[in-house]
C-alpha cells in the first residue's frame, strides 16, 4: 500500500470513528476535548457533528487553518503532559467525548506519549464517555470499531466507569 493510500485510509477511519462516537454520546451531556489541533480538520468536523457542545482544544501551539482556530478561552496551549493533568484537576470527569490525535512519524515516541496520557484521558471522561484515538490506550475499555475500520488503524474506547 502506498503512503497516500495509507493516509486516506487513516482519515476515513478517523472520520468513521468520530461520527460513531458522536452518535454514542449524542444523549450524554458533557464537553468535548480535542487533544492535538494540528491543522484543525477534526476540530472543524467535531464542530459540525456536535454544534451545541463546548470544545476545548489542547496542543503546543496553534498551527491550524484560520477557519479552524478555537475561540478565546477554548485553546489550552502547552505540552500535553502538563496541560492535560491541569485540565483533569479543573474539569474533573466531565468530557463526553475526547479525540486524541497525537501521533507523529516516531512509533516508539507515539506509544510512549499515549501510555503517559492514557490515564489522564481516563480521568477526564465522564461515565459513559467515549475516547477516539490514533494511538492505543489500553487503560480504557475498547469498543467495537465501525464497519470498514481495520483493527489498529484507529481506536475507540468507552470510559471504564460506564
Which tens digits make up the pLDDT trace of 27-40? Answer: 999 999 999 999 99
Q: 101 lies in which domain range?
A: 3-158
Distance of alpha carbon 158 from its chain centroid, rounded? 12
102-112: pLDDT as tens digits = 988 788 998 89
β-strands 155-158, 125-133: how paired?
antiparallel
Quote the pLDDT of residue 63: 87
Q: How many domains does the chain have?
A: 1
pTM for the model stands at 0.95
Quote the pLDDT of residue 18: 98
Average pLDDT rounded to a whole number, residues 131-149: 94
Average pLDDT rounded to a whole number, residues 6-34: 96
Quote the pLDDT of residue 2: 95
Read off the pLDDT band of 1 (50, 70, 90).
Answer: confident
Average pLDDT rounded to a whole number, residues 94-107: 92
d(CA 12, CA 143): 18
Query: What CA dihedral angle connects 146, 133, 97 and 19, to 10 degrees?
Result: -30
d(CA 72, CA 108): 34
| Whether residue 160 has pLDDT greater than 80 | no
41-64: pLDDT as tens digits = 999 999 999 999 999 999 999 989
Quote the pLDDT of residue 161: 63
CATH number for the domain harbouring residue 42: 3.40.50.150
Amino acid at each position: 500500500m502506498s503512503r497516500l493510500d495509507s493516509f486516506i485510509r487513516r482519515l476515513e477511519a478517523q472520520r468513521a470513528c468520530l461520527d460513531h462516537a458522536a452518535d454514542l454520546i449524542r444523549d450524554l451531556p458533557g464537553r468535548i476535548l480535542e487533544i492535538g489541533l494540528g491543522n484543525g480538520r477534526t476540530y472543524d468536523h467535531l464542530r459540525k457533528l456536535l454544534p451545541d457542545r463546548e470544545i476545548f482544544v489542547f496542543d503546543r501551539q496553534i498551527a491550524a487553518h484560520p477557519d479552524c482556530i478555537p475561540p478565546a478561552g477554548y485553546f489550552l496551549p502547552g505540552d500535553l503532559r502538563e496541560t492535560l493533568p491541569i485540565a483533569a484537576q479543573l474539569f474533573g470527569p466531565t468530557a463526553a467525548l475526547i479525540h486524541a490525535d497525537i501521533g507523529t512519524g516516531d512509533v516508539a515516541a507515539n506509544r510512549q506519549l499515549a501510555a503517559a496520557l492514557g490515564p489522564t484521558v481516563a480521568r477526564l471522561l465522564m461515565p459513559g464517555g467515549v475516547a477516539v484515538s490514533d494511538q492505543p490506550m489500553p487503560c480504557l475499555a475498547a469498543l467495537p470499531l465501525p464497519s470498514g475500520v481495520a483493527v489498529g488503524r484507529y481506536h475507540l474506547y468507552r470510559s471504564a466507569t460506564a
